[in-house]
């Protein structure tokens, strides 16, 4: 069940995080990253959770010049998680 919820919520959170990054809103990046970090930790996606924690930390410290690189690392980790969740759900439906 967590996989279904995660799959639905992750898209919304990913978009919110991307919007906050594009707007240069460090406070919103920090808030969304914090929540997303918890979602990832709940499904034991530890590398992705760590990448999100890094985004949160950079935003908290107003190190906005480093956010683009951290976003790319996060996207890479999240893509792997989403692929794995998709496989799990596909297997559950068979």
The tokens 């683009």 sit on which residue? 68
* Within-domain flag for 8: yes
* Within-domain flag for 94: no
In this prediction, residues 19-27 reach a mean pLDDT of 95
Buried b (16+ CB within 10 A) or exposed e, 30-66: bbbbeebbebbeebebeebbebbbbbbebbeeeeeee
CATH number, domain with residue 56? 1.20.120
* Within-domain flag for 39: yes
**What confidence tens digit (pLDDT) does each residue in 51-94 have?**
999 999 999 999 999 999 999 999 999 999 999 888 877 776 65
Q: Kindly report the average pLDDT of the chain as a whole number.
A: 90
Classify residue 45 as left (phi > 0), alpha (psi -120 to 50) or beta.
beta
65 secondary structure, DSSP code: G
Residue range(s) defining the domain that contains residue 75: 2-89
């Amino acid at each position: 069940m967590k996989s279904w919820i995660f799959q639905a919520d992750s898209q919304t959170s990913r978009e919110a995080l991307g919007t906050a990054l594009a707007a240069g809103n460090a406070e919103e990046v920090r808030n969304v990253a914090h929540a997303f970090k918890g979602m990832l930790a709940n499904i034991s996606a530890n590398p992705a959770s760590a990448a999100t924690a890094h985004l949160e930390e950079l935003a908290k410290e107003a190190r906005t010049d480093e956010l683009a690189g951290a976003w790319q690392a996060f996207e890479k980790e999240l893509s792997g998680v989403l692929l794995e969740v998709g496989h799990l759900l596909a297997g559950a439906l068979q």
